[in-house]
Amino acid sequence: TGKYEISEAENVQRGTKIVVHLKGDAYDFAKEDIIREVVKKYSNFVGVSIFLNGKRANIVQALWTMEPREVTPDMHEEFYRFISNAYDKPRYYFHYKTDAPLNIRALFYIPEYKPTMFDMSRETDIGVSLYSRKILIMAKANHVLPKYLRFIRGVVDSEDIPLNLSRELLQDSGLIRKLRQVLTTRILKFFADKAKKDPLTYRKFYDDYGLFFREGIVTTPEQDQREDIAKLLRFESSKLGEGELTSLEEYATRMKAGERNIYFLSAPSRQLAETSPYLEALRKRDIEVLFLYEGYDELVLMNLGQFDRKNLKSIENELYEDKEDTDTVDATDEKSLKQNEVDDLKIWLKGVLLNKVNEIKVTKRLESHPCIITVLEMGSARHFLRTTLADKSQDERLRLLQPTLELNPSHPLIVKMNKLKESEPEIASLLAEQLYDNAMVNAGLIEDPRLGMSRLQTLLEKALDKL
């Protein structure tokens, strides 16, 4: 009713007694188990003991209020299991305290288990609870950390947050945005420090949780924070042995003076990366190249764009933009076709391939490969083929891609094809289309090479007939 009376009483114990009268539909709140759960959820960490039918109900300490050196590993393990309802141990824990720019007491844990597909879903809530003066404000406080850090478990306590903060104000509060910024910066620094101090342990963590950092780069609008996340990425490199990983920062320390690009190559495996015609074309320049084995890694670096004022660039784009490689043959190469032969071959090839190619050129960059395909923004082209252009016809795809076919005029297959176009035009045409398909597969622009198997079989049959 909002009204109350005060009167004197005799022979009563010191303290406050509150009697709650429940309505008929609320009798569940008189059950011991229900009350214990309410205490556990909202008031487990208050500074006074809460007894329920003679037994203390709040038995877990608020570890985040203690000094980090006072908290033992066993205490961390018990607390982690309590707040996360888990049975594993934390692989990392981060105890953070500061009074500026906000009063913050935070304790974060990284689970030991490998994340499941459910954990990967962006619909999964943040595993961090928000407190003010040890009173729960919100469990699973999705606005305290960015979504890509949803794998973290823990608590955040700030006396600057009012106890009556509503969910609506929590979402739009400048105070919460500031809190999120401070915590995110400190967490990213924590991971960066761990990566430097214990690379082997971090490698295992990165193998399990690295996908969240990639998501963070794609979904974070601020470039400075994207670059902080990018410091945590790891890749294999053409300058390191198989299985060895390097960071973008480490790559930058090995760059030649005056070099402004960090180069990368997307390939399904190291073997395919090392035998890629695109890597071969740049090998003479002695450029280090990062190997990206997952398709989304290429998308991540394309979104990142720059790191420490250095451009992130695929070697395929480098070849496409290379102005030094003129459309002429090497006159000193005795194995190479002559310029007039190449000019005739290009005209003939255009008649065979028709609208499959926008342009045909010769290149002096290749040695062991007969040809390569170059297009504007190869990585974007691959992405669009898998998404926007997935339901388009082959003709529509090629019209939008406008691929350029670059020939190695000294390769035996190109030299032989030039001869066959006069003596065996049918075999030469089959060979031309097969070389084109091979180049498209190497470029990642044809995902299913089975489409060309019938032509390959016909080509082999024709070749065997000549033996």
Question: Annotated binding residues, as ranges?
Answer: 16, 167
Residue for token digits 């529509």?
A: 396
Copy the structure tokens of residue 277: 């015609």
CA separation (Å) from 170 to 29, 100, 180, 260? 28, 20, 12, 43
Could you tell me which residues are beta bridge partners of residue 182? none
Specify the DSSP element, H or E, that contains 297. helix 295-304
Residue for token digits 């879903």?
A: 121
CA separation (Å) from 59 to 46, 50, 255? 10, 9, 56
Q: Which residues are annotated as a binding site for ATP?
A: 16, 167
Find, among 415, 385, 413, 414, the residue nearest to 399 by Cα. Answer: 385
| Own/partner pairs, 349-356, CB within 8 angstroms, 24+ separation | 349/405, 349/407, 349/432, 352/428, 352/429, 352/432, 352/433, 353/405, 353/432, 353/433, 353/436, 355/395, 355/398, 355/399, 356/398, 356/403, 356/436
DSSP 338: P
- Whole-angstrom Cα distance, residue 127 to residue 125? 6
- Whole-angstrom Cα distance, residue 182 to residue 189? 11
- Whole-angstrom Cα distance, residue 418 to residue 335? 13
